[in-house]
Amino acid sequence: MASASRGPKATVDWAELIGRVAARGDREAFRALFEHFAPRIKGFLIKTGCNADEAEEISQSTMVAVWTKAGQFDPSTAGAAAWIFTIARNQRIDAARKAIREGRLSKEIVLDEEADPTLAADQIVSRVEDATRVAAAIERLSAEQSTVIRLSFIEERPHSEIAAVLGLPLGTVKSRIRLAMNRLRDLLDDAT
Amino acid sequence: MTISHHPPEDLLADFATGALDEAERLVVGVHVAECSRCRRFVRAIEQLAGASLDKAEPVAMAADAFDAVLARIDRRPQPAPRVSEVAEIDPELADLPEMVKRCKIGKRRRVAPGISMRPIMLSGTGKSRAFLLRSEPGARMLEHTHSGNELTCVLKGSFSHLGGYYGPGDFDYGDDEVDHRPVVGDEGPCLCLVAMTGDLRMHGLLGRIISPFVRL
């Protein structure tokens, strides 16, 4: 995999590992996925507002779901990290609901996304053509624009905090977010 | 299907990141499933979120986490095949989007002349409610504003208001500044999927008279 000649920066092909999990329940491939992604899912969840216990539990559920759903992963329509993000997102939504319902985080149960119609991600069919256009649009988004989208929507930071992080007036932050979203929409519409 | 009205971008981004409550997620999801343009936008946000996850500062998992995950995988029961509960017997629901058909849908009740609704039974943990709203051809919805947001996706038929014409797949977003009065198209009943926070506020004398009887 990561050949020595390409140096330490050589990237692991996560999609290929997911494929091995799907094809033959390859536990070594799964261990590599776990070691890379589980701590990052946990870090990402903590950064976006979960406490450490919730983040640990959701990261574990997410990895269980990565195993069980590996056969649904299609590398031609989504990157491995984006696919794992969507699983973590759905596990988090379901965990929050169970926590409200039961007054605690549900242990052990691997939340079944298909049981919740609003998480029926399989109803939103991805196409290869979409992946190409999405990649092209993201490529053309400026660093500044992807940063404000990340801070505002992905990390869900309040506008005032983004203003502080970027050292910009609040009004500028708001207009930058709006412009970045419009730009992304335009780039996606333009791409052929 | 030609879709000409889309959710605002921030709503799509919140859908992609999981920030919407369940009623809103359902209505936006039904639109996105029909709309390739919005589907690409959602995918783009998911790609950005995936990159952000991949670059997140790792936080060590519990020492036994990997073994615990393998144990859960080994214990996991085979999922039972899903059986659709309502679709076959209810002609109104038979040709609706799959995401709606998978919902538990309550009994119809009359809202106003020519207008009825069926609640969608969600887990009830969100702040908004979802329902199917059916309006007979030519029915005029009451002039109203909202105390909260209203998200609408047209499933069948059409309506028009100041914002234009809304046919199947079109998405209408009303917030507390919108004062609109949709008129249903005459091609047949209009069936909409609606998520609503807050309450409708009726305007005008008729609204004030009828408001106590409107149960939305």
Q: What tens digit of pLDDT does each residue of B67-122 get?
A: 999 999 998 776 655 555 544 557 777 888 888 988 889 999 888 788 888 999 88
Q: H/E element holding B119? A: strand B115-121
CB B200 within 8 A of CB B149: no
Collect all residues of chain A within an 8 Å Cβ-Cβ radius of residue B36.
Answer: 127, 130
Q: Per DSSP, what are the bridge partners of residue B118? A: B132
A18 band by pLDDT with thresholds 50, 70 and 90? very high
> Degrees (nearest 5) of the Cα angle A79, A84, A87?
130
Task: Please state the rounded mean pLDDT for residues B54-73.
Answer: 96
| Contacts by A145-152, CB closer than 8 A, 24 or more apart | A145/A176, A145/A179, A145/A180, A145/A183, A145/A184, A146/A180, A146/B48, A148/A173, A148/A176, A148/A177, A148/A180, A149/A177, A149/A180, A149/A181, A149/A184, A149/B13, A149/B45, A149/B48, A150/B48, A150/B52, A152/A177
Q: Is A72 on the interface with B (CB under 8 A)?
A: no
* Residue B142 confidence (pLDDT): 60
Distances from the Cα of B121 to the Cα of A91, B28, B59, B195, angstroms: 21, 17, 38, 12
* Residue B179 confidence (pLDDT): 58
| Test the B interface: residue of A26, A114, A124 with most B CBs within 10 Å | A124
* Residue A122 confidence (pLDDT): 57
* Distance separating alpha carbons of residues B205 and A140, to the nearest angstrom: 53
- CB contact under 8 Å between B29 and A120, yes or no, is yes
Distance of CA A82 to the CA centre of its chain: 4
Is the pTM above the cut of 0.95? Answer: no
ipTM score of the complex?
Answer: 0.87
Distance from CA of A80 to the nearest CA of B (A): 8
Those residues with Cβ within 8 angstroms of residue B45's Cβ, 6 or more apart along the chain or in another chain: A149, A153, A154, B12, B13, B16, B17
Collect all residues of chain A within an 8 Å Cβ-Cβ radius of residue B4.
Answer: none
Q: Check pLDDT > 70 for residue B65.
A: yes
Q: Which residue is associated with the tokens 């903590």?
A: A46
Q: Which residue is associated with the tokens 């992604």?
A: A37
Q: Per DSSP, what are the bridge partners of residue A182? A: none
Percent with pLDDT over 70 in chain B: 77
Distances from the Cα of B80 to the Cα of A106, B15, B83, B102, angstroms: 20, 28, 9, 15
Considering only CA atoms, which of B48, B126, B53, B22 is closest in space to residue A46?
A: B53
Cα-flanking dihedrals φ and ψ of residue A13, to 5°?
-90, 90
- CB contact under 8 Å between B98 and A123, yes or no, is yes
* Residue B28 confidence (pLDDT): 96
Given A67, A156, A182, which is nearest B9 (Cβ)? A182
Q: Is A70 on the interface with B (CB under 8 A)?
A: no
Q: What count of other Cβ atoms lies within 10 Å of the Cβ of residue B117?
A: 21
pLDDT-wise least confident of A65-69, A106-110, B86-90, B175-179: A106-110
Given B32, B37, B76, which is nearest A68 (Cβ)? B76
Q: Is A22 on the interface with B (CB under 8 A)?
A: no
Distance from CA of B205 to the nearest CA of A (A): 38
Q: Check pLDDT > 80 for residue B178.
A: no
Given A56, A110, A189, which is nearest B72 (Cβ)? A110
* Distance separating alpha carbons of residues B123 and B142, to the nearest angstrom: 29
* Residue A171 confidence (pLDDT): 95
* Distance separating alpha carbons of residues B25 and B39, to the nearest angstrom: 14
* Residue B212 confidence (pLDDT): 45
In angstroms and rounded to an integer, the radius of gyration of the C-alpha atoms of chain B is: 20
Given A46, A56, A124, which is nearest B29 (Cβ)? A124
Q: Check pLDDT > 60 for residue B201.
A: no
Q: Which SS3 state, helix, strand or coil, does residue A43 take?
A: helix
Q: Check pLDDT > 90 for residue A6.
A: no
